[in-house]
Amino acid sequence: MNILNKTFVLKMPQFQKSYVKKLVNAFSLLIITKLDENKNLKQADLDEITQKFNNFLVILKLVRDDDNTCKQSLSSYYINQFKDVMQEYKIYF
């Protein structure tokens, strides 16, 4: 996908339950819309945001695979990384 002629690639994990998949798809569209509105982002910025968002999506997949018990010890780390990068680039919802 291109945003402002810059490459933006999401690596979405496969979700089996349709409601989780719909929620993640809607959230992904919201992220893309917010990034598209930010005209100051460079390719390096998009790459960093994409990496953090991909890590966040992997954690969502792991949480779902653990029946929402969140057994993965790195989950808070990656969720906070994503939150921090959104704040750093002033992308608010």
Structure tokens at 28: 């992904």
Higher-confidence residue of 10 and 33: namely: 33
Considering the entire predicted model, what is its pTM? 0.60
Among residues 45, 47, 34, 54, which one has the least CA distance to residue 8? Answer: 47
- pLDDT tens digits along 50-89: 888 888 888 777 766 655 555 555 567 777 888 898 898 8
Q: How far apart are CA 52 and CA 79, in angstroms?
A: 8
Output DSSP code: residue 68: T
Cα 91 versus chain centre, distance? 12
List 46's β-bridge partners, or say none.
none
d(Cα 24, Cα 13) in Å, to the nearest integer?
A: 10
